[in-house]
Structure 1
Amino acid sequence: MKTLEKVNYKGFIWPLVVGIVLWCITPWRPSGLTPQAWEMFAVFVATIVGCITKPLPIGGTTLVGLVFTVLLGLAPMKDVVNPKTGVVMNQGVLSSFGNSAAWLIAMAFIMAHGISKTGLGNRIAYIMIQKFGKKSLGIGYAITGLELILGALIPSNSARTGGVVWPVVQSISEEGYHSEPHSPSRKKIGAYIDFTAFHANILSTALFITGAAPNMVAQQLAAQKGYQMTWAGWFFTAVVPVAVATLIIPYVIYKIYPPEITETPDAKKWAEDKLEAMGPMSVPEKIMTAVFCLSIILWVLSGFFKIPQLDATFVAFLAVALLLITGVLTMKDALAETGAWNILIWLSILMFMAGKLISYGFIGWFSKLVQNGLQGISWGLVLGALVLLMFYTHYFFASGTAHMTALYLPFLSVAVATGAPLGLSAMLLAFTGAINASTTHYANGPASILATTGYVTQKEWWKMNFVLGLIYLAIFGFIGTAWMKIIGVW
């Protein structure tokens, strides 16, 4: 007998309460805002709250928000065009699904399926452990190096952690050193490399614009303020602070959370056995490697040459087409990559709603309001305060995407309104959206995976992340800002 799918109906309570309350106070909205601006704000906030309480997966939650946007008359389904001039007078919700960033990351998800299907991701992991796994600290750096490589290959930070890195961490800990979760033996080595793997994920997320969905949200929102983030531009801006953090973070973790086992000669043998079992690189692996290298080259070139055929989203489509033509992937593989189609839905919808907040004048009103209240205060202090707020308010969010969507554009608008350089503000706030995962055990997908393995207690997780969070803020706030000055971002 067929039954209904499980729905978290309790998760609808807070979005509905927040949305209804905000909607009902429309007659008493702040002066300077139109009814449409306030009503769009109510629907947007209710949708963001839904992304936190999760009555449905984020794709389903945003679809419900989209339905309310249309039902309440805040946007039509199709573009409303002036018949005389042909100019779009009111953008329809269907146009949101032409969002280039959403399609780029969807195609990148499908590419990542090839990394997993061919075994290339595992091969890279075993090679890293083989080369750098003689000591526990070396394994920490190997896991970090693995994540940095995978950050360019796999656009989902959760997929990198859950699909490749965590299985490697688990195998090394349990098979290699009998370091078991939920037992005193966790401190042998498992706890150290589990926690290091999480911070390696933060670094890989910060290094690539395709490292995680919140980065793509920042890219789209920054474009609405006139700042264009390219794949190459993001990488060259991030490379120095990430390189510094890569050298420091694994060592700091090693010192504040040392493993009982410091020498790990068996790790090399373990990795060699895994590589021997895999055999030489297969034809699919070689094609996957070639296609990915081509994509990286074209993405870098797209940052320097404004050629339509080098558009970053087109490059991702080209890569997927090549993988289909060569037989590395099938259309069945592409259609089965649910993460791709899920992100295409929710990212497109959230960007559409944010765009409506701009077109109805809400963001402009908010910027002027804060600007008037901050007159006479140095833009440096304002930007610093906004970065700290972006970081520490993440304690109240279980989704990096929801956090970025809710605060990035208002914060960027405020920073610029008080005189802060657009490029510096856009990039610092975007990087903060990556490093603020160094907070809670529910900060993002990788945290939810690695904090619940039984290797690191919740108290340890919060305590150490607080310390490391200060280090990230110092590195990106000072070294990152100086580097951006050198390369002309501001």
Structure 2
Amino acid sequence: MKHMKLITGLIGIILGVIIAFFVPTPAGLTHAGMIVLASIVTANIFWIFSVIPSFVTGLLMLCSWVVLKAVDFPTSFNIFSTTTMWIIIGGLALGAAAIKTGLINRIALKIMSYLPASFRGQSLALLIAGTVISPMIPSAHPKSAMSTPIAKGISDSLGYKPKSKASSGMFMAAIWGFIVMEASFLSATAQNYAFKGLLPVKYQGVLTWGKWFIMMLPWTIVTLVLGYLLLNVLFKPKNDKPISKDFIHQQLQKMGPMSREEKITAVVILVAIVFWILGSAIKLEAAITALIGVSVLVSAKVLTADDFKTKISWNTIIFIGTVMALGNVMKTVGLTTWLYKILQPVINPILSNIWITVIALPIVIYLCKFVVVSLISTGTLIMLCLLPFFSTISFNPALLVLIITTSVNIWMLNYMDAPVITGQAAVQGSMVSKSGLAKSSLGYMVINIIGLLLCVPVWYMMGLVH
């Protein structure tokens, strides 16, 4: 494996050097554009094959633009001073508090206690709990690591054998609720902010918390309802009679009454979500809301200075920042204009009509996922290819962010979805079978397109399609 990383890393560097310094600059592109193009090729090879940590690759890419004089330092690192970066930092800190205090576990277990202790009841509980919790934590891996052990406890208490149909179904219900439904809310995952950040500023205003929720509401309803039916068709055991909910009650008893820290965190997150919804109406930046919320949690000693060191994924923040820098720099060096001419014959048919786009673009993304594993890297590559076409398409380019964020999250094969891998690691690979992964992912891929198609009339009513 080490040799494979070394070989692919060398190939990436050699290709970058050749493109930057030996390939003649095509008509319509500057040498600065060639340097940025070369860095993108090298960086993507490093990201695909995990040659070095993703955030290090991103930082080296930004540094290479400055060292090789493609752009100056302020242009290269401009993204780190934007509101998008601060909302990501603030959101991750709020999520860290929700996990640290046990608030998330309590909400999930409480919802489960209201539904029957059967496959139908508890799979529905996991879907609902995940959807409710999603906007509180903008990071998939903690949600995956937290939800799948709960699903395992339920599966064991219901008497399901490891990797049986029913056990696989409980695992996938956790993934579906806590990870898949992230696309419903802007604040549910950092990748939503990353893809939004790749848009030109004039289009980003469309994607406020409230508008995102409304634009995705048909998809949310369809994905929840059809997802629940799909999991029951694929995985429900023949004998699905309810049993005692002792496991759930025992877990709640262990937690004891709601602590002071949980109550403060719950209030802060609830108030933050309300202000995110009202943000555009009251002219308050989402980042300010998040940072004030974090300040309250620190002042109330819910979060400490050490928590900022250990409970916030700074490498993820840096990686997202370096990825978002690409859009502005590509435009600055003229790479978007050049790519438009090159990609026009392929991209124009896909973007010619919104109805075609919501069918064809997800399929293209599904195919890309077999090669580019990282969710953010896949979405970034697609956005960069589409960026030159924003001024010519018949709908608001912000809609592409919604299509991309729902479509990158597939798990046909074990390696294709990092949060699913995290979930499997959290239960020592004892719950879901390979066939269970493949069947549920294929079902989601179809449901996703149906959900997006049903969103189109809403997008028309909102004036986002011309």
TM-score, normalized by the shorter chain, greater than 0.5: yes
Within the candidate set 166, 169, 178, 1:201 is matched to 178
Residue-by-residue CA offset, 1:75-96 (whole Å, 9 max, x unaligned): 333x4xxxxxxxxxxx253x33
Distance change in 2, residues 1:193/1:8 (3 Å)? same
CA RMSD of aligned residues (A): 2.6
Q: CA deviation at 1:371?
A: 4.0
Q: How many residues align?
A: 457
Asked if 1:467 corresponds to 2:443, the answer is: yes
Asked if 1:169 corresponds to 2:151, the answer is: yes
Q: CA deviation at 1:189?
A: 2.9
One-letter amino acid matched to 2:151: V
2:42 aligned partner: 46
Residue-by-residue CA offset, 1:69-119 (whole Å, 9 max, x unaligned): 222222333x4xxxxxxxxxxx253x3321321221122111111111111
Q: CA deviation at 1:51?
A: 1.8
2:386 aligned partner: 411
Q: CA deviation at 1:237?
A: 1.1
Find the aligned partners of 1:466 and 1:403 in 2 and give their Cα distance: 18
Q: In 2, are the aligned partners of 1:412 and 1:429 still within 8 Å (CA)?
A: no
Q: CA deviation at 1:274?
A: 1.5
Residue-by-residue CA offset, 1:295-325 (whole Å, 9 max, x unaligned): 011111113232xxx2011111101000001
Q: CA deviation at 1:130?
A: 0.4
1:458 aligned partner: 434
Q: CA deviation at 1:451?
A: 5.2
1:179 aligned partner: 160
**What SS does structure 2 have at the residue aligned with 1:226?**
helix
Q: In 2, are the aligned partners of 1:26 and 1:39 still within 8 Å (CA)?
A: no
2:416 aligned partner: 443
1:392 aligned partner: 367
Distance change in 2, residues 1:326/1:303 (3 Å)? same
Within the candidate set 74, 78, 82, 1:99 is matched to 82
Q: CA deviation at 1:458?
A: 2.4
Q: In 2, are the aligned partners of 1:147 and 1:204 still within 8 Å (CA)?
A: yes
Asked if 1:270 corresponds to 2:247, the answer is: yes
Spell out the pairing of 1:126-141 with structure 2 (5 A cutoff): 126-141=109-124
Find the aligned partners of 2:346 and 2:438 in 1 and give their Cα distance: 34
Find the aligned partners of 1:312 and 1:256 in 2 and give their Cα distance: 40
Q: CA deviation at 1:59?
A: 1.5
Distance change in 2, residues 1:454/1:399 (3 Å)? same
Find the aligned partners of 2:17 and 2:116 in 1 and give their Cα distance: 56
Q: CA deviation at 1:338?
A: 4.0
Residue-by-residue CA offset, 1:408-441 (whole Å, 9 max, x unaligned): 1322543652x3211xx43244333333322432
**What SS does structure 2 have at the residue aligned with 1:134?**
coil
Q: CA deviation at 1:178?
A: 4.2
Find the aligned partners of 1:389 and 1:415 in 2 and give their Cα distance: 18
Residue-by-residue CA offset, 1:362-411 (whole Å, 9 max, x unaligned): 11222244446777994347634334313332222211111111111322
Q: CA deviation at 1:226?
A: 3.0
Residue-by-residue CA offset, 1:22-73 (whole Å, 9 max, x unaligned): 324531x432111111210110221122222112222222122223222222
2:336 aligned partner: 363
**What SS does structure 2 have at the residue aligned with 1:189?**
helix
Find the aligned partners of 1:466 and 1:375 in 2 and give their Cα distance: 27
Residue-by-residue CA offset, 1:430-470 (whole Å, 9 max, x unaligned): 33333332243223322223456243232442243123211
**What SS does structure 1 have at the residue aligned with 2:117?**
coil
One-letter amino acid matched to 2:262: E
Within the candidate set 426, 430, 434, 2:398 is matched to 426
Spell out the pairing of 1:141-290 with structure 2 (5 A cutoff): 141-162=124-145, 164-174=146-156, 176-181=157-162, 186-187=163-164, 189-224=166-201, 226-228=203-205, 229-259=207-237, 261-266=239-244, 268-290=245-267
Q: In 1, are the aligned partners of 2:354 and 2:456 still within 8 Å (CA)?
A: no
Q: In 2, are the aligned partners of 1:137 and 1:251 still within 8 Å (CA)?
A: no
**What SS does structure 2 have at the residue aligned with 1:222?**
coil
Asked if 1:298 corresponds to 2:275, the answer is: yes
Q: CA deviation at 1:10?
A: 5.0
Moved more, 227-236 or 11-20: 11-20
1:484 aligned partner: 459
Find the aligned partners of 2:348 and 2:136 in 1 and give their Cα distance: 45
Q: CA deviation at 1:269?
A: 2.4
Distance change in 2, residues 1:203/1:69 (3 Å)? same
Q: Which sections of structure 2, spanning at least 5 residues, go unmatched?
A: none
2:20 aligned partner: 23
Find the aligned partners of 1:8 and 1:37 in 2 and give their Cα distance: 27
Q: In 2, are the aligned partners of 1:451 and 1:457 still within 8 Å (CA)?
A: no
Q: CA deviation at 1:192?
A: 0.8
Find the aligned partners of 1:373 and 1:208 in 2 and give their Cα distance: 31
Residue-by-residue CA offset, 1:195-250 (whole Å, 9 max, x unaligned): 22222234321111122232112211123463422122111211221112111112
Residue-by-residue CA offset, 1:302-356 (whole Å, 9 max, x unaligned): 13232xxx201111110100000111111111222241x2233122222223311
One-letter amino acid matched to 2:149: P
1:342 aligned partner: 315
Distance change in 2, residues 1:36/1:297 (3 Å)? same
Q: CA deviation at 1:131?
A: 0.9
Distance change in 2, residues 1:373/1:46 (3 Å)? closer
2:93 aligned partner: 110
Higher relative contact order (CA 8 A, sep 6+): 2
Residue-by-residue CA offset, 1:139-187 (whole Å, 9 max, x unaligned): 111111111122111100111111x21120122223x134343xxxx32
**What SS does structure 2 have at the residue aligned with 1:473?**
helix
Q: CA deviation at 1:359?
A: 0.9
2:324 aligned partner: 351
Find the aligned partners of 1:113 and 1:471 in 2 and give their Cα distance: 31
Find the aligned partners of 1:51 and 1:272 in 2 and give their Cα distance: 44
Q: Which sections of structure 1, spanning at least 5 residues, go unmatched?
A: 1-6, 80-90
